[in-house]
Structure 1
Amino acid sequence: MSQEFELSNVSTMPVIALRGITVFPNVMIHFEVARAISVKALEDAMSAGQPVFLVAQKDISVEEPSGRDLYTVGTISNIRQILRMPGDNMRVMVEGHSRGRLIQLTASAPYLKAQVQEIPEEEAPDRPTPRQEALMRATYDLFQEYSELAPKVSPDLIVHLLASQEPGYIADYIAQNIAMRSADKQKILEELHPVRRLEKLYKLLQREVDILSLDAEIQSKAREQMADQQRDYFLREQMKAIQNELGEGEGGDEIAEYREKIAKAKLPDQVREKLNKELGRLAKQPFGSSESSVLHSYLDVCLELPWGKTTKEKVSVAAVKKALDRDHYGLDKVKERILEFVAVKQLAPELKGQVLCLVGPPGVGKTSIAMSMAKAMNRKLARISLGGVSDEAEIRGHRKTYVGAMPGRIINAVSQAGSCNPLILLDEIDKLGHDHRGDPASALLEVLDGEQNATFRDHFLEVPFDLSDVLFITTANTLDTIPRPLLDRMEVIELPSYTDEEKLQIAKHHLLPKELKRHGLTHAQVKVSDGAVREIVAAYTRESGVRVLERKLAAICRKAAMKIVDGEKTVKITEKDLHEYLGAPRYFPERQALEERVGVVNGLAWTSVGGELLEVEVNVVPGSGKVELTGNLGDVMKESAHAALSFIRSQAERLGIAQNFYKEKDIHVHFPEGAVPKDGPSAGIAITTAIVSALTGVPVRRGLAMTGEVTLRGRVLPIGGLKEKTMAAFRNGIRTVIIPADNEKDLEEIDQTVRGALQFHLVEQADQVLAIALPALNAGEKENTPKAEPETMLPPERGSAASRLRQ
């Protein structure tokens, strides 16, 4: 081994007392020096190019060590590098040269100096004995095991050891680079015999390996024994801290908040158990997972529902009657039925399952009646429009596992109402759709069934919700498109069309004040006469309800507002002024059937928006017996025309018609307004009368309308929708109406104003119809004409009966 300087057996050199560090020969190490005496010793040694003696202190707490505070064996070392650190510290790199023994201290200021005797290293044999080889291999294996257990042990250390075959060097190198107590390292340093030194190291290394193994085992057991709750708490606290750092924290324990909400809510046991289970799943979800967002949404929806919350219902017939009379004019029978419903509710509060269905043309007040009931009974109102709904999930909701899942409209309505006993208005139930996504009408069967809706299950909630306290009211324009099982669950209340007098009163007391307020006007500024309102109803609107009338009044208010702004103080509007405000009249009811016309008969039709006057035109021209039917007719109406023609052929001789007319004449039956589809058998007698009039040239009586089905034998069968049809006749200036005798029972359902203005002829045979409608034919064939029924009004003692729905 080469030496950079000559060293006698005993030399005087600077001494540096080490605290917690042991330096071995032939090993390079760096450490920090802070004490002034040590810094001064290093500086002088570096300047003089001489070695320093590095010896460990027995007690590291001693600041100014003396001879008795130092071990006697240390390491004579060469200084390789000195690096000054901020402050007074110094970082020094030294290389151990050989062991040395401290003889005595010769100086203690300005730094320690001592006489040091160098201890020569025993030379190892050229070839190690088998025992030494076995000891070195065991040491290699043990050190490798140590490096696997101990943290921060460089793999290069093992490679460096394998390159050496000197037991003493191996012992020194391992002792320098492992974590060991200073006293144990000092024992290795003081052992001069190389093999015995390696043996001591092996024992100490075995002890360190055992300690590390026990430490790893203790840590493993401690981790296994850690309670799941404590671990979850620790992880949640970490997650909250991370979220707060990212600005995503909510500032509270949401799991605890959910648990508190579930505890406070008045939930059924089944629902509470379900929500607690879902909350437990949420607590285990990692932050930001898709399942976490689904569970958040589910818990929020469930806890927002008004479990057990109700409004104090005012079941008072007087209150409801006052509200209905205040908001609606007329509709006496409808109000009576609603008050009966409230009276039964007042006597039997626990009565469940009553569902009302308000049926009538648009604009007659179905929705507003339901709103008035909700207000009078102190129930929250939730309105659901079912027009065009074709997806069953709209009613029952979606499974919460689907993307964008949400509860159905029923549960949403209850949530918005904020109580378990709202009034839910199902608008336009007759316009439900049906396609591949399911049948929403079938889903409503459970909702509207009093025996089932106490445990209604929405697909999103997956728990039962009680709908038995909900008051359901549905509206429809027609019953034909409502499935029969669904219609069977509802009690139907029909709202008829308004008469002109009712429209006048509604306009005066409801519509006009409402429009004046909307347009910022007062009754003193704008005055509309009753005559003007009557003229609007007769010449500018043709409807069953009052929506168009409301729009016309709004148009008048707008133009009146312009005049008020221009400086006029008062605007008075009479029927003579309507042309200025609304333009030319659109309808001329007085022109309908004012002249006697050949081959033209006024029929009466029922539509979903009320009754309509339906003309039947027949033209007869020479030809080959062809029959043409036009006007966008349905199959039933075409069959009625053929039945009428067969009846006329059977009665041709008696009616004064040529026997072979069906061979020599072409007959064209047409219904105007061909863009509108038409179907139903109730135009049978109108077609019969029009064909007879065209074939005989006898004009039809003026001011006459008719409705009824005709058979091949000339019998007149009953029809439906008589209220709407007679209302249409009244609106169009008709004064005489022919109806089937079997419909006499339905006359009491007709409005009193209409009954007083119309003359009704009840007929059983088509001959009676011809006798009334074709008086000239009757005069010419007096001897063959059957006796006509007298003009008949409804006897006051007649009882009520449901009309047959025969269209």
Structure 2
Amino acid sequence: MAQKFSQDNTKTEIPVIPLRGIVAYPKLTLAFDAGRAGTLLALDKALKSNRQVLLLAQKDIDTEEPKAGDLYRVGTVADIIQVLEVKNDYYKILTEGVYRAKVERLTRRHKGYYTAQIMEYPRIPYHIASKQIDELQLEATHREIISLFETYAIETGLIPPDAISFAKTLKNYDQLIDLVSVHVNFKHENKQALLEEQDLGKRLEQIILYLSQELKLFQYGQEIDRKVKKAIDKQQRDYYLREQMRTIEDELSGARSELTEADRLRELFAESNIPEEYREKVEREIDRVARMPANFPEASVQINWLEMVLKLPFGKTDQEKLDLQLARKILDRDHYGLKDVKQRIIEYLAVRKLQIEQGIKSTKGPILCLVGPPGVGKTSIAKSIAEAVGRKYIRMSLGGIRDESEIRGHRRTYVGAMAGRIMQGISHINTDNPLFLLDEIDKLGNDFRGDPSSALLEVLDPEQNNNFRDHYVEIPYDLSNVLFITTANSIEGIPGPLFDRMELIRLSGYTEVEKLEIAKRHLLPKQIIANGLNAKQLSMTDGALTGLISWYTAEAGVRQLERELARVCRRVAIKIAEDEVSHYRVKQTDLEDLLGKRKYTYDMAEKEDLVGSATGLAWTYAGGDTLNIEVNILPGSGKLDLTGQLGNVMKESAKAALTYCRSRSEDLGMAEDFIKQHDIHIHVPAGAVPKDGPSAGITIATALASAISGKKVRHDLAMTGEISLRGRVLPIGGLKEKSVAAHRAKIKEILIPKENERDLDDIPESVTKNLKITSVQTMDEVLKIALI
């Protein structure tokens, strides 16, 4: 064995500190307490020399004054890092192991401490020892050690996370074994065996064995603790509950609080209109509550359920208003336009009035679904309808709801169970015939908790909702007297079976004329008051309002318009607050000063007739717009280019239009090989905006015919319609919005499909007064009117 020599190459003696129950390892720090006389003398000796001591473990931890035979012969030479005096003759010592050493001779000094002559007791270097073990076996052993060490740390909570992280980074498995041994509470005999063993393979086997044993011991101990604790807790709990019940009964004379609660429930029960077949069940539940101690866990659950059931109206209804003139007045007061919705409500009131006159007390209320873009007044009209028909108003937003229990409630067996929001709303409003608004029904979701749209099938079916069962309430409830109104932005998000149960009423976007009236009647007065002004301080001309609508908003509804009006009011408020003016009349020329540069612009009609350029009409989410379609014909090989970010449907319309033109080659003066010798490029400007739909078919065909024939297209003419291969003009949607857009662009005449004549009544009179609308059935008619 190689020996540890001092710098003068002679053996040295080193003071010995005996350790009780702990073992020191090289390259690891160790903190321990020192108070025995021999330990303090050895410590003093080391501090006066090179601050090194030999740390030897005692064989018996109970030995107070160990003799030479009581100490192991292999230990660790350590540097003394820090000595801290805790109290008189009692110290805390921090050391760091340097190397393993074997005692050659142990000498007891006259003052009672030991010194030892030592030889270094090295292990085979790790890079050599590791090659003597199969690489896969070594890796598997390493993983097992880390796994056991981590499991022990998690279950005991005694090992700091840093130690786990450090252990995973160690590549020297000898050091890993020492680290694990220091942190795990092995028997000191096992720790000493790990210190003395020099063979790496045997040390790996030992550490796995010791770790497994220690983990099992801990788990057995935990299991025993749980069993003992459970038995003790049950005894203590039973004793505590018995004493508590006895005390309450003695001091309150027979559970007065429970009886008081039961009496209150009985009063509610007497006033309730619960159906006869369920009264016995509810009465039994009240009797159960009366027998329960106040602190009994189930008591609060039962009381909550009984309160919910007893507060339901069960047949209690409010008096309806059946005055048709008053209803019209209320609906027109709060909303401009929306004729279809208002008409349907008047129809309902008329039918209801006649039924009452004939002695029919109840009727199945309609299930209305208002579909339209945001901001057109779907939610607010529902509140006005409630006032018009004399019903209380409940609103439930369905946006983002994914849990079926939101509709049907939770079963009482669940912790924190409650009724669904339908029954909660009925209970809160305390009437059987409210107006119930289910807002954003197209935004319903579904996941592992169920499908709320399926739960709504029963609620919104007039044939089924007279016997609706909430999971929490458990008693069937009649919802047939409720007037349900739902709202949605699009029917695509509504499941088919649910959509089939509702009466659809579409609310299209407002025209510019309608927005002008809404702004004058509702939005501007509201914002004047909201911003601390009055009608004498601010007014706006029609031109200013029209400019605000056209240049600063692009929406189907009026929410952005209301925000822009609020901005105008705030800017004017600044001027009035700073005493610049006492009254401000906003004109169209003032808008840029108040609101900044224009945000939006609209295409106007061309000023001259052009070849290969036709004006179409498009429907957008924000209303209608004009659409210029350009066609160029170039020498080439028959290629058709379509640009302007066109959708698939619009591309197919372009191909159909080209086929039609080829079928009219003689009329257009097109040679037989014209297509083969030319490329056709169709472009729709505003390339950043996606475009799709079939309604531009006749416009594309007109532009193509113009480019092929060399004839110009009228600049004051716009058109809309789908084209077939035979040249028929097929119907389209959004005629109202498209007509308004044409009128705004100073178009004088528009061409529409013959079948769309039924929609002419929807177009505002202010538009039809200045716009000629011509219906066509074939593409030949279109070309006869459009080409010059």
| TM-score of Structure 1 vs Structure 2, range by shorter chain | 0.5 to 0.7
Equivalent pair of 1:499/1:754 in contact (CA under 8 Å): no
Q: Which of 304, 313, 321 is the equivalent residue of 1:314?
A: 321
Letter in 2 for 1:538: S
Counterpart position of 1:473: 485
The within-5 A match list for 1:763-778 is: 763-775=776-788
SS of residue in 2 equivalent to 1:581 = helix
CA contact (8 A) 1:603 1:686 kept: yes
> 380, 392, 411: which one pairs with 1:380?
392
Structure 1 residue identity aligned to 2:479: L
Indicate whether 1:257 and 2:264 are aligned. Answer: yes
SS in structure 2 of the partner of residue 659 of structure 1: coil
- Counterpart contact for 1:559–1:581, Cα < 8 Å: yes
Residue from 455, 458, 462 that aligns with 1:450:
462
Equivalents in 2 of 1:380, 1:238: separation in Å? Answer: 50
Matched, 1:640 2:653: yes
- Select the residue among 370, 373, 378 that pairs with 1:366: 378
What residue in structure 1 maps to residue 564 of structure 2? Answer: 552
Q: Deviation of residue 706 (structure 1)?
A: 2.0
1:581 deviates by 1.0
2-structure distance, mates of 1:396, 1:747:
45
Residue aligning to 2:19: none
> 2:639 aligned with 1:626, yes or no?
yes
Structure 2-normalised TM-score?
0.62
Contact 2:257 2:294 in 1 (8 A): no
**In structure 2, what is the Cα distance between the partners aligned to 1:322 and 1:315?**
13
Moved more, 267-276 or 746-755: 267-276
> How far did 1:557 drift?
0.5
* Aligned-pair CA distance for 1:269: 2.6
Q: 1:656 aligns with which of 661, 666, 669?
A: 669
Could you tell me which of 758, 768, 777 is aligned with 1:755? 768
Q: Look up the match of 2:503.
A: 491
Percent same amino acid among aligned pairs?
53
Cα deviation, residue 608, structure 1? 5.1
Q: Is this contact kept in 2: 1:353–1:451, CA < 8 A?
A: no
Q: Deviations over 1:247-304 (max 9, x none)?
A: x997974344334323332212344344345445656777767655544443343334
Over 3 Å counting, the alpha-carbon distance change for 1:523 and 1:654 in structure 2 is same
Please say if residues 294 and 401 of structure 1, whose CA atoms lie closer than 8 Å, have aligned partners that are also in contact: no
CA offsets, 1:138-187, max 9 Å, x none?
xxxxxxxxxxxxxxxxxxxxxxxxxxxxxxxxxxxxxxxxxxxxxxxxxx
CA–CA distance in 2 between the matches of 1:443 and 1:692? 56
1:412 to 424, 428, 434: 424
Maintained 8 Å contact 1:371/1:381: yes
Residue 561 of structure 1, CA deviation: 0.8
Q: TM-score, normalising length from structure 1?
A: 0.61
Structure 1: stretches of 5+ with no match in the other structure: 1-232, 776-807
Matches within 5 A, 1:8-407: 238=246, 240=248, 253-279=260-286, 291-292=298-299, 294-332=301-339, 334-349=341-356, 350-407=362-419
- For 2:280 and 2:612, locate their aligned partners in 1 and report how far apart those are by CA, in whole Å: 77
Q: State the alpha-carbon separation in 1 of the partners of residues 416 and 490 from structure 2.
A: 35
Q: Which residue of 2 aligns with 1:503?
A: 515
Q: Tell me how far apart the structure 2 counterparts of residues 281 and 673 of structure 1 sit (CA, whole Å).
A: 74
In 1, Cα distance between the equivalents of 2:483 and 2:611? 55
Partner letter of residue 730 of structure 2? Answer: L
Cα contact 1:631–1:672 (8 A) shared by 2? yes
User: Could you say what secondary structure the match of 1:465 adopts?
Assistant: coil
State the Cα distance separating 1:462 from its structure 2 match.
Answer: 2.1
Number of the residue aligned with 1:178 = none
Q: Is the 8 A contact 1:330 1:502 kept in 2?
A: yes
Task: Using the TM superposition, name which of 657-666 and 763-772 deviates more.
Answer: 657-666
In structure 1, what is the Cα distance between the partners aligned to 2:683 and 2:296? 69
| 2:582 alignment counterpart | 569
Report the secondary structure of 1:346's partner residue.
helix
Quote the offset at 1:696 in angstroms: 4.5
1:470/1:675 Cα in 2 relative to 1: closer, same or farther (>3 Å)? farther
Distance 1:527 1:243 in 2: 74
Q: Deviations over 1:353-408 (max 9, x none)?
A: 32233333333323222211212332111112233444433332333434544333
Q: What one-letter code is carried by the residue in structure 1 that aligns with 2:725?
A: L
Please tell me the residue identity of whatever aligns with 1:314.
Answer: K
Quick one: which of 702, 718, 724 aligns to 2:715? 702
- Shifted more, 480-489 versus 721-730: the winner is 480-489
Change (3 A) 1:757 1:239: farther
1:139: which partner in 2?
none
Letter paired with 2:570? R
In structure 2, the CA distance between the partners of 1:544 and 1:300, relative to structure 1 (3 Å rule), is: same
Of residues 563, 574, 594, the one that matches 1:581 is 594
Offset of 1:597 from its aligned partner? 4.7
Q: In 1, are the aligned partners of 2:336 and 2:518 still within 8 Å (CA)?
A: yes
Match of 2:618 among 587, 590, 605: 605
Determine helix, strand or coil for the equivalent of 2:386: helix
Q: Which residue identity is paired with 1:742?
A: E
Native 8 Å contact 1:361 1:545 kept in 2? yes
Q: Which secondary structure state, in structure 2, belongs to the residue aligned with residue 682 of structure 1?
A: coil
Does the alignment pair 1:524 with 2:536?
A: yes
The one-letter amino acid of 2:355's match is: A
CA separation of 1:701 and 1:478: change in aligned 2, threshold 3 A = farther
What letter is aligned with 1:409? Answer: R
Alignment match, 2:527: 515
Which amino acid in structure 1 is aligned with residue 785 of structure 2?
A: I
Q: Distance in 2 between matches of 1:460 and 1:563?
A: 59
Aligned residue for 1:382, secondary structure, equals strand
* Matches of 1:715 and 1:594, distance apart in 2: 30
Alpha-carbon offset, residue 336 of structure 1: 3.3
Is the contact made by 1:497 and 1:727 (CA closer than 8 Å) also made in structure 2?
no
In the aligned structure 2, how far is the partner of 1:372 from the partner of 1:643?
48
Aligned residue in 1 for 2:233: none
- Which residue is 1:537 aligned to? 549
In structure 2, distance between residues paired with 1:593 and 1:258: 78
Contact 1:499 1:753 in 2 (8 A): no
Aligned twin of 1:462: 474
Q: Tell me the distance in 2 between the aligned counterparts of 1:633 and 1:288.
A: 70
Q: Unpaired segments of 5 or more residues in structure 2?
A: 1-240, 357-361
SS at match of 2:695: helix
With over 3 angstroms needed to count, the CA separation of the structure-2 counterparts of 1:258 and 1:532, relative to structure 1, is: same
The equivalent of 1:39 in structure 2 is none
| RMSD (Å), alpha carbons | 3.4
- Aligned match of 1:183: none
Counterparts of 2:301 and 2:777, CA distance in 1: 68
Query: 1:571 and 1:450, CA in 2 relative to 1: closer, same or farther beyond 3 A?
Result: same
Distance in structure 1 (CA, Å) of the matches to 2:415 and 2:654: 56
Tell which deviates more after alignment, 704-713 or 487-496: 487-496
Residue 769 of structure 1 deviates from its aligned partner by 1.9
Instruction: Measure the CA separation in 1 of the matches of 2:267 and 2:685.
Output: 70
Which structure: larger Rg?
1
